[in-house]
Structure 1
């Protein structure tokens, strides 16, 4: 979709000024166009996409079934431009049959405080963030045994991965009743192959924590390069500690091992998704050296957009 060249240039300049780690802003996405103008007459544009998911679709683990995703282009107009586009989105949704399992979503650079003001004013909350870590691997934690998991660990791995949604269902996206079924195929495939890796932290032969990870190459033209600087990244997909073992150091020891292994596999930096509203994850990952690069702002249901 084409937008005015001065607006696109201002959009890219905004990203570069907000956070030096952001990759160059991607070209406009395809979708429905929303236009508005500031009091000074500057045009701002949004691109709107609608995504619908069924009960068996893996994105249902984190997404509403009916999601309206806005890609804003407001250049140097700051809070005013972001506010105008959200008002346009609200107007677009009036009369639309949005149900309870629906959402409006904007993925935006985490450090853009002017945009945050507009998001909050319109009822959006920061439900997810992409955190990045650029520090060297930490020293080992010798007191905890960490090993690669295999096919024989499937039941343990699914039970651990499923358990994390009991907690995140309280502080982020609601838990789905078929969470284990949605998680199962991906974990079974990972455990059956050498890659992507799954690690278990153990004590006295009992699994205490799990990390499901991967290597991701951010290269020109691929999806990862729209979110991350170029290079080979370690992706920390899912990490969970047994509920009764949280705070005992198993997660810290596991991630010390994982960071070294991802580095050994060629990743100089790592990234993950976490919930800023999660009082455990938001503290743990920051202590692990991660900081937010992108934040996903969301309001559920979509009709609750102010």
Structure 2
């Protein structure tokens, strides 16, 4: 008599399969959170971590970045960065806590010992469930990516003593001075770092940007530069890094805005933005213009007021703790 056959147990899911399943659910989460978010994108390659069991299973990818001495990102980033890319589906507080705990357990020992290090995660600003979890683990909302639809700002009051024009190669020294003033201020209220080579790095970046004709506006009073708005254009298209952050289309962006201390509150920033936005919002390709974006620091008492008044609102929050070893367990 033949023995009855039993079906073989199903093969366990691979971490990649778990990521794909959770990502499909996460897309629904993002769409419900904020209509301005793009479709939730797959995380970059890295160390995959899966925590829990259905229906409370979550996953994430951990990546590591190192910035060499003299590189531009070191003016706003730690030298060693561990980044978590959550793929959590519709999970609530408890699974998210477990994911952050697992992240800390998978950090490289060298990163945990490094003073010039950071643990970071970028997440939709309107997801308050995740906000509670990140705060509990010692992460700080150090920056936001804010967006503004196309359209002019309200006309600023006239200032006959102020000249606004596009910066050119002859304005490098003035632009560097203003950029360093902004860096010094931001280092007190955000993630910027004043490093020994800051002036050389800023000079190289600004000279190259002006040489490429990237739009930068400068404000002058009695011939002296008192403000600057360093801008650019980018396209969010499938496969680009921007596609994971912004809906598909053409975007203008504000890279750096600086007003010298004696002129803050006098309307110089408003005048610069009013001059810059029409060009940044203009269509420059077959890709439809979607608006402009920028990063600002919520702890900054100036930019956290100025940019929302100008119509920018948070889309993504960049959570961070420095050094990375400061990421707390519960």
Please give the range of the TM-score, normalised by the shorter of the 2 chains: over 0.9
Mean Cα deviation higher: 2-11 or 57-66 = 2-11
- Following the alignment from structure 1 to structure 2, what is the Cα–Cα distance between the partners of residues 61 and 81? 34
Q: Helix, strand or coil for the counterpart of 1:147? A: strand
Q: How does 1:198-217 map to 2 (within 5 A)?
A: 198-217=216-235
Contact 2:26/2:89, CA 8 A, preserved across alignment: yes
Query: Deviating runs (4+, > 3 A) in structure 1?
Result: 93-97, 139-142, 264-268
For residues 325 and 197 of structure 2, what CA distance do their matches in structure 1 show?
26
> Aligned partners of 1:261 and 1:8: how far apart in 2?
37
Partner of 1:258: 276
Distance in 1, Cα, partners of 2:17 & 2:264 = 49
The answer to whether the Cα contact below 8 Å between 1:133 and 1:271 also exists between their aligned partners in 2 is: yes
Shift of 1:263: 2.1
| 1:177 aligned onto 2:196 | yes
Structure 2 unaligned residues grouped into runs of 5+: 1-14
| Map of 1:294 onto structure 2 | 316
Q: Alpha-carbon deviation of 1:29?
A: 1.5
SS of structure 2 residue aligned to 1:75: coil
How do 1:106-185 residues align onto structure 2 when only pairs under 5 Å count? 106-141=121-156, 142-143=158-159, 144-173=162-191, 174-185=193-204
Superposition RMSD on alpha carbons, in Å?
1.7
Equivalent-residue separation in structure 2 for 1:17 and 1:176 (angstroms): 42
Please give the alpha-carbon distance, in whole angstroms, between the structure 2 residues aligned to 1:268 and 1:230.
Answer: 8
Higher mean Cα deviation, 290-299 or 22-31?
22-31
Give the 5 Å matches for 1:20-31: 20-31=35-46
Q: How many residue pairs align between the two structures?
A: 304
For 2:3, the equivalent position in structure 1 comes to none
Normalised TM-score (structure 2): 0.88
Structure with the greater alpha carbon radius of gyration: 2
Query: What is the alpha-carbon distance in structure 1 between the residues aligned to residue 283 and residue 163 of structure 2?
Result: 20
- TM-score normalised to the size of structure 1? 0.94
Measure the CA separation in 2 of the matches of 1:214 and 1:161.
Answer: 16
**TM superposition shift of 1:192:** 2.1
Task: Kindly indicate whether residue 59 of structure 2 is the aligned counterpart of residue 45 of structure 1.
Answer: yes
**SS where residue 137 of structure 1 aligns?**
coil
CA distance in 1, matches of 2:101, 2:294: 31
